[in-house]
Structure 1
Amino acid sequence: MGKKISYVCLSLVMLWTLIPTLGTEEVSASSTFSDVNDNYWASDEIDYIAEQGIANGDGVRFRPEEPVNRAAASVMMTKSLGYGGHDRSAPTYSDVSKDFWAYKYIERASELGIFQGTDGAFKPNDSIRKAQVAAVVARAFFGDELEEVSYDGSFTDISDRFWAKDYIEVLVENHIIEEGGSFRPNDEATRAELSAYLARAMNKELRLDREEEKPSNTEILYEGVVVNIDDDDELYVRSGPGTDYRHFDKLDNGERVDVYGEEGKWLEIFVRGKKGYVSSYYVEKVDEVQSGEDSMDYRTEPIAEALVSVSSTLNVRSGPGTNYETIGKLKNGDVVEIYERTNESWALIKFNNQWAYTHRNYLREKKKGSNGLAGKTIVIDPGHGDHDPGAQANGLIEKNVVLEVGLRVEKLLEDAGVNVVMTRKDDTFITLQGRVDIAERAYADSFVSIHANAASAAAEGAETFYNSDHVAEESKKLAQAIQTRLVQETGMKHRRVADARFYVIRNTTMPSTLVELGFLTNPGDVNRMKQAGYPDRAAQAIYNGIRDFYDW
């Protein structure tokens, strides 16, 4: 795939330097700046981007209060999106020559639409305003949310007619900036402010704390259990009491919930620490469901079965939490029946003929007696798009090859009863973070990113990648299953299945893999890709690999 080195390294090797000479020394995790003490408001964010190699100041000072200019912002934004510089045959702007320190990054930023010049000039040394910073960060990291956002007067100096109000509101909603008081949108943005926005957008652990949500009533009205859901359906948890409100989570038949309040036909519940609402039709009191039976014996039929997927063993506990006693262990490959799911990611099972719990993160679940694919939500991600063509060689363009294959995978999965979410279905550009966000918001069961490779003419074969930061064993098995099918069914040589840090698989939290179909720079691989029917064979191979992963 094009720009593969940038994708592998992304934020780990991004260099944002605000001085005319781009340094090449790495910044160690222990580096500090003499002008940023531990009490400085953005010290954690500055430390983060320094550790990641995004900003290194002059090696001693960070100069956090200095304004950021357009040239420096261009470097930062293009790097944050996984791009290197772009060396055009002739400069686009009259005031940015080829020997200007940020020339290549300004060209790339202009190509990506991050910044544009005026009357043939870029004005690289002009400062950038806080509203402009909000706009570029919001578009880059949260662009798919902009159509739904509605400004609610978070700041006294931002009216509902201000041009950047929606960008600012998106950053508030994602805890990048703190609401309240004045925003001062026309002030010059500082190095610290831009660093903070970027660090928080990249790393959710650095985002501002939201005031903890609390139930309307401090006492639980009753414990409920989800009922009346068809086998292939799930119950939406919504942000308000009505179908007009956006859903943010899902519940399955048999999941227990604590009910704190009632609003008409809607129940106020808490799901994974967040307040939500569900229709009362689908929740019954546990006491009523049990009908007087002892303990949990009302659940006589399993609601799902699951394959244990761990590198060693999985603890079985007496209750739904790590504070409960360990009463046994499950081995990799064991199959268990699930009788109930709690809303804290624990599953109720029977172990040695007694009720017990184990963690769902290490279970590959499917409906009892169903094929493993039916009802799953799977995100297919054809890489690149629009102005980002990816690799180009021997008459093939990566963005076109992977879209052809991806659309065919979509059809095959849909025919198998899968809810397929595509990151793109046409020649559209989606940022790396945008692709991650699509998968996370879909609560996807798995994520498959499709690419084609480029290197020397000697490099050949298919390869797949996974990342060990999240559900490592599951991601590795998904990658292996697809790789096996690609080699068998497309004739590509086996290159490798490897742990890698591509942005889209490093930042998704479900089983994820990045597939490299072959090398556009290798004559043999290209000949296979140009054969009639290749997109169908490649799509069938990816589909079969996904099916193999779920059909155990």
Structure 2
Amino acid sequence: MPHIRPNYLREGDLVIFYKKVTYSMMAAALSFSVIPVFSAEQAEASDRYADVDNGYWAEEEIEYLTEQGVADGDASGDYRPEQPLTRAQASIMMTNALGEGALNASSPTFSDVDSSFWAYGSIEKAAELDIFQGNNGSFNPNGEIEKAQVAAVVSRAFFDQAAEPDTAGSFSDIDSDFWAQEYIATLADQGIVQESGSFDPNDSATRAEFSAYLARAMEETMQSSGNGNPSSSPDEEDFSDENVMYEGEVDADTPLNVRTGPGTGNQAVNQLSDGTNVDIYGRDGDWLKIENAGDWGYIHGAYVTTVDNSDSEEDDTSETPDEGTNESPSDDVQGSIISAAKVTVDDLNVRTEGSTDGDIITKLQSGDTVDVYEHTGENWARIDYGSGEGYVHRHYLQEKEPGADALEDRTIVIDAGHGDHDNGASGNGLIEKEVNLDVALEVEERLEEAGVDVVMTRDDDTFLGLNERVDVAESVDADAFVSIHSNAYKQSAHGTEAFYNGSHKASESRALASSIQQELVKQTDMTDRRVADAGFVVIENTTMPSSLVELGFLTNPSDAARMKKAGYPDKAAGAIFDGIDNYYNW
């Protein structure tokens, strides 16, 4: 099962995370020494809590979180700083810190957290954001969270990259091969923890310790982005139409925060409702730059769809032909065929000229094939649509040379999910990282035989971070990216599913995912669960057609029995190869 970076996914009432089992428990450890992070302006001491005395080591951090609305005391007015923190309490604090509301999912993700549980909404949201994961389908909400686990939660939520492993080498109880060292290194590198003494990574974290950890990370994020004012004030000319990259539309179940900088540590200064159209002026990582009350604002790109599905000036898939429009160039198409093309969207307008000023002759549907006779400018193609010729926008065509094998000489990245200390899911005697790799290696062999330049993110039991996997695909300018995973949830969940993301090459990615899914269902005899848009990191951030496939549920006896058979890796790999081949060759 893959991981989703915080703030990457909002799927309405659809929980796409059939939560996994072991990510080796998202880890890192912490020895909470007092580091002078806060100034008097940031959090003044107060007598808010009877059991947090003036001078208490985490007094300022606790006050800061209270002022930010992240944490609160109990009904008696106590904060109980020395009490262990439960996983349910931690999920509430984390979602509050990120400015995320509760997610009232229609069906529970975890077997031990039903909709009546007091922290249900926060736990569901934390799971959706991949801040927390369960184990074998359960969450253990009342269990005490270890310092290792809480460190990982904050590290992954607020910091993109892990520091060099030896950064955390001065802790006496953290060996160089400790499975969570990269998280520790990140926090030490950020100055959030002090490199001395021991971490005690397996000890339960207290409320005070978690508060210090979280508050320092929030403040560090805000400081690193220029105190919420990362860019100079724009001039009126900066908002001109010529500087607009494209138009987007907010796609969010709850109001979308507009922040002063690219990051959750920056102040939220406005909110946009679902369906709001916005002009996009730039991109900073996952954040989109927009105009907000005469200044720059930033919104998270995961909650914005592109109105025209590209950076082009016009969306040519929505208009309806004018009544009585019968204009068409001659039925006798002039010239030679330069390529064959497949339509990648529904309702693609065919026009009388290569411009949106041209009248609409007819519409083409996704999967229709046409002959291309000419490229006019960068964006238009003159085609034969069967009843004559017309012009369509090239962004919605997948082209290939006539009669050529469109798969040969492609560069395709195959990503076997998880690896090394990160086992992924497990169930019925199967371990996900092993299943993924076995299938991926067979896919590699088939693609190479077809003349494909195959790049593997891993070909043995090693670990790569999510962004490292993305970097592999981007660095080789891949034509396609396919990530292979296996699923886990409650025992009754079964079937195969394939995901794509709408951020880049949406229609092509959807077509690739659908093609692979069709073959997996047919060739491995798995239930067709679905093809869906999702916010997994590796398909959110790769800019080529990308898909993430879930082979089946290791936690389901029937799926697992199929996957245990000796010939399964070969069969699944054949299906994935055929799906890729069918996507390119029609």
Q: Contact 1:382 / 1:451 at 8 angstroms: preserved in 2?
A: yes
Q: Tell me by how many angstroms 1:542 deviates.
A: 0.6
Q: What secondary structure is seen at the aligned counterpart in 2 of 1:206?
A: strand
Shift of 1:81: 8.9
Counterpart code for 1:313: L
Distance of aligned partners of 1:9 and 1:192 in 2 relative to their CA distance in 1, 3 Å threshold:
closer
Letter in 2 for 1:412: R
1:497 corresponds to: 531
The residue aligned with 1:56 is 99
TM-score (norm 1): 0.52
Shift of 1:194: 6.2
2-side partners of 1:421 and 1:24: how far apart? 46
What TM-score results when the alignment is normalised by the length of structure 2?
A: 0.49
Change in CA separation of 1:444 and 1:459 when aligned onto 2, cut-off 3 Å: same
Task: Classify 1:99/1:484 alpha carbon distance in 2 versus 1 (closer, same or farther; 3 Å).
Answer: closer
CA offsets 1:203-226 (integer angstroms, 9 cap, x no match): 253399xxxxxxxxxxxxxxxxxx
- Between 1 and 2, higher relative CO (CA 8 Å, sep ≥ 6) is seen in 2
1:314 match? 349
Q: Which runs of 5+ in 1 are unaligned?
A: 26-51, 59-77, 88-97, 138-190, 209-270, 273-298
Q: 1:481 aligns with which of 496, 515, 518?
A: 515
Q: Are 2:487 and 1:415 equivalent residues in the alignment?
A: no
The one of 493, 499, 502 aligned to 1:465 = 499
Q: Is the 8 A contact 2:487 2:551 kept in 1?
A: yes
1:386, 1:538 → 2: CA distance?
22
Query: Partner of 1:425: helix, strand, or coil?
Result: coil
CA shift at 1:483, angstroms? 1.9
**Are 1:81 and 1:431, in contact at CA under 8 Å, matched by a contact in 2?**
no
Question: Structure 1 residue 102: deviation in Å?
Answer: 7.3
Q: Quote the offset at 1:54 in angstroms.
A: 6.2
* Cα drift, residue 533 of structure 1: 2.0
Kept after mapping to 1: 8 A contact 2:496/2:521: yes
* Alignment partners' CA distance in 2, 1:353 and 1:448: 37
8 Å contact kept, 1:394–1:520: yes
Distance 1:477 1:353 in 2: 26
Change (3 A) 1:11 1:516: closer
The one-letter code matched in structure 2 to 1:363 is L
Secondary structure of the residue aligned to 2:395 is helix
Match of 1:388 among 418, 422, 425: 422
- C-alpha spacing 1:489/1:301, structure 2 compared with 1 (3 Å): same
How far the C-alpha of 1:197 sits from its partner, in A, is 8.9
Deviation at 1:376? 2.9
* Distance in 2 separating the partners of 1:376 and 1:342: 26
Percent identity reads 41
Q: Is the 8 A contact 1:347 1:357 kept in 2?
A: yes
Structure 1 partner of 2:410: 376
Mapped to 2, the partners of 1:441 and 1:316 lie a distance apart of 38
Task: Give the superposition deviation at 1:539.
Answer: 0.4
Of the three residues 40, 61, 65, the one matched with 1:19 is 65
Q: Which amino acid aligns with 1:455?
A: Y
Structure 2 counterpart SS, 1:315: strand
Distance 1:53 1:2, change over 3 A: same
1:403 shift after superposition? 1.5
TM-aligned CA deviation for residue 309 of structure 1: 2.8
In the alignment, does 2:249 pair up with 1:203? no
CA distance in 2, matches of 1:477, 1:508: 16
Shift of 1:541: 0.7
Cross-structure match for 1:119: 197
Asked if residue 325 in structure 1 is aligned to residue 325 in structure 2, the reply is: no
Aligned to 2:151: 106
In structure 2, the CA distance between the partners of 1:56 and 1:102, relative to structure 1 (3 Å rule), is farther
CA distance 1:502–1:121, shift in 2 (3 Å): closer
CA distance in 1: counterparts of 2:443 and 2:469, whole angstroms: 17
Equivalents in 1 of 2:98, 2:502: separation in Å? Answer: 26
Q: Counterpart amino acid of 2:344?
A: S
Give 1:543 shift. 0.5
Where do residues 279-318 of structure 1 align in structure 2 (5 Å cutoff)?
A: 301-316=336-351, 318=353
Provide the C-alpha distance between the structure 2 equivalents of 1:372 and 1:83, rounded to a whole number of angstroms. Answer: 40
* Structure 1 Cα separation of the partners of residues 549 and 419 of structure 2: 16
CA distance in 1 between partners of 2:182 and 2:196 (Å):
16
- Tell me, in whole angstroms, the C-alpha distance in 2 between the residues paired with 1:9 and 1:192: 15
Aligned residue for 1:543? 577
Q: Secondary structure at the match of 1:417?
A: coil
Q: CA deviation digits over 1:348-392, x for unaligned, max 9? A: 546799986432221122121112322333332222223322112
Deviation at 1:129, TM superposition (A): 10
Give the 3-state SS of the residue equivalent to 2:187 in structure 1: coil
Secondary structure at the aligned position of 1:384 is classed as coil
Cα offset for 1:414?
Answer: 2.0
Q: 1-side partners of 2:341 and 2:98: how far apart? A: 46
Q: 404, 410, 427: which is aligned to 2:461?
A: 427
Deviates more, 1:525-534 or 1:439-448: 439-448
With 422-431 and 116-125 compared, the bigger mean Cα shift is at 116-125
State how far apart, in whole Å, the 2-side matches of 1:436 and 1:363 are: 25
Q: Determine the structure 2 residue equivalent to 1:84.
A: 132
Mapped to 2, the partners of 1:441 and 1:330 lie a distance apart of 37
Residues 551 and 457 of structure 1: is their aligned pair in 2 closer, same or farther, counting only changes over 3 Å?
same
Contact 1:85 1:107 in 2 (8 A): no
**Alpha carbons of 1:495 and 1:81: their partners in 2 closer, same or farther (altered >3 Å)?**
closer
Aligned residue pairs total: 352
Instruction: Report if aligned partners of 2:496, 2:551 keep a CA contact under 8 Å in 1.
Output: yes
* Gap regions ≥5 residues in structure 2: 12-16, 18-61, 73-94, 102-125, 136-142, 156-179, 189-194, 201-208, 226-259, 269-282, 292-310, 313-333
Letter in 1 for 2:414: I
What is the deviation of 1:202? Answer: 4.2
Aligned 8 A contact 1:451 1:516 in 2:
yes
- What are the superposed Cα offsets for residues 284-317 of structure 1, whole Å, 9 maximum, x if unpaired? xxxxxxxxxxxxxxx9543321122321233336
Report the Cα distance in structure 1 between the residues aligned to 2:435 and 2:476, rounded to whole angstroms: 25
Q: Distance in 1 between matches of 2:470 and 2:389?
A: 37
Instruction: In structure 2, give the amino acid aligned to 1:415.
Output: E
- Structure 2 CA distance for aligned equivalents of residues 369 and 411 of structure 1: 24
Gap change, CA 1:435 and 1:22, over 3 Å in 2: farther
Write the distance in 1 (CA, Å) between the matches of 2:552 and 2:438.
Answer: 15
Secondary structure of the corresponding residue to residue 288 of structure 2: helix
Conserved 8 A contact 2:263-2:287: no
Residue 531 of structure 1 corresponds to: 565
Structure 2 residue matching 1:538: 3-state secondary structure: helix
Partner letter of residue 205 of structure 1? L
Which position in structure 2 is the counterpart of 1:400? 434
CA distance 1:207–1:394, shift in 2 (3 Å) = farther
